[in-house]
Amino acid sequence: MENPTLEPATIAIRSERVMKHLKEVVIGQERTVQLMWAAMLTGGHVLIEGVPGLGKTLLVRSLGQVIDASFARIQFTPDLMPADVTGTKVFDLQSGRFNFKQGPLFTQLLLADEINRTPPKTQSALLEAMEEGQITVDGESRPLPAPFFVVATQNPIEYEGTYPLPEAQLDRFALQLTMDYPGEEEELEVLRGHRVTTRRESALSPIVTAEEILAFRRQVERIRAEDSVIRYVASLVRATRTHPQVLLGASPRAGTSLLALSRAVAAMDARDYVTPDDVKWVIKPALRHRLIMSPDVELEGFKTDDLIEEITRSVPVPR
């Protein structure tokens, strides 16, 4: 049942508790943790990119431990079939009928590990699930448990034997997060506290329920966005489509996702209104995977983030 008394301050307090627990286990990735939680508060899905050994799997596994919800991990491989993800019908000798056996997709928090290692046919098994919260097998639709949250990882190196995600599936992700190497002090902290971190991970316990997550999402939707801020978001998104160095700009879905994430950032800051700074804070991870740059830009050494920053500077900020 919806809780009408829930306030942004409540979300901010509970979010801070989650951040504190996760940062004790995942060292040096504070912004990544905050952005992932913002996506959780909006119902968006997350794609994490980073070289091996940075703690991508550890972060998602830890998130699964602080939320009282079902958790599943799928290790994507070249021989994985769609039925291995969604489930399939199995013949029951006793009843003489085919019964549906659920796949690992029937969970609330799904870690899709190395998603670009499996063929497009299996990758597409996630499309309907991520967009509609259901799957269809043999013409019959089956709802997935709520909340349904996908975090996929991919390795930016070792491209041999990989299958890049198509634009249609990339657009299903609210954020693409990039995990970088930790700073010197943070890496020293990792080395000094390796065994401590392992114990901390095993000691993590649920502090937020699935029902609370759903209530938080309803409250985030109520965060006020003035018309000037909405126009600002629209201007940013439309500017990506007219920039001469962008072959494919952001879709309308990108705009709604950007605004939703901005609302989540405001709620995490105990505010009931969105500011342009909230939009700026999430715009790079919200758009970087949705833009296709012209080849000459990449040859000149520019990154998508550089282009987004240039576009952001060119669009007037509402006052």
Domain boundary pick from 200, 217, 234: 217
In a domain, 1, yes or no: no
Domain boundary pick from 217, 248, 263: 217
In a domain, 319, yes or no: no
Give yes or no for a contact between 48 and 177, defined as CB atoms under 8 angstroms apart: yes
| pLDDT at residue number 18 | 92
**Do 90 and 233 belong together in one domain?**
no
| pLDDT at residue number 180 | 83
Give yes or no for a contact between 105 and 144, defined as CB atoms under 8 angstroms apart: yes
**Do 156 and 194 belong together in one domain?**
yes
Q: Count Cβ atoms within 10 A of the Cβ of residue 242 and give its class: 0-12 exposed, 13-18 middle, 19 or more buried.
A: exposed
User: Residues near 198 by Cβ (< 8 Å), separated by ≥ 6?
Assistant: none
**Do 206 and 238 belong together in one domain?**
no
Counting residues of the chain whose pLDDT is more than 70, the rounded percentage is 92
Query: With 60 as the cut, is the pLDDT of residue 3 above it?
Result: no
| pLDDT at residue number 197 | 60
pLDDT in tens, 38-91: 999 999 999 998 877 778 888 888 898 999 999 999 999 889 998 899 988 888
For residues 38 and 121, the model is more confident at 38
What is the chain's alpha carbon radius of gyration, rounded to the nearest angstrom? 20
| C-alpha span between 315 and 284 (Å, rounded) | 15
Expressed as residue numbers, the domain containing 196 is 8-217
Q: How many CA atoms lie within 13 A of 309 on its CB side?
A: 5
Query: With 90 as the cut, is the pLDDT of residue 6 above it?
Result: no
| pLDDT at residue number 4 | 47
In a domain, 296, yes or no: yes
- pLDDT bin (cut points 50, 70, 90) of residue 37 is very high
**Do 69 and 153 belong together in one domain?**
yes
* CATH number, domain containing residue 102: 3.40.50.300
Query: With 60 as the cut, is the pLDDT of residue 5 above it?
Result: no
| C-alpha span between 159 and 193 (Å, rounded) | 33
pLDDT in tens, 249-300: 899 999 999 999 999 999 999 999 999 999 999 999 999 999 888 887 767 7
Average pLDDT for 166-192: 84
Amino acid making up residue 280 = K
**Do 189 and 238 belong together in one domain?**
no
Query: With 50 as the cut, is the pLDDT of residue 224 above it?
Result: yes
pLDDT in tens, 79-91: 999 889 998 888 8
Query: Whole-model pTM above 0.95?
Result: no
**Do 96 and 231 belong together in one domain?**
no
Average pLDDT, the chain: 87
**Do 19 and 167 belong together in one domain?**
yes
**Do 193 and 299 belong together in one domain?**
no
pLDDT in tens, 184-217: 887 787 777 665 666 666 678 889 999 999 999 9
Query: With 90 as the cut, is the pLDDT of residue 137 above it?
Result: no
Per the structure block, which two tokens stand in for 179?
Answer: 């995990």
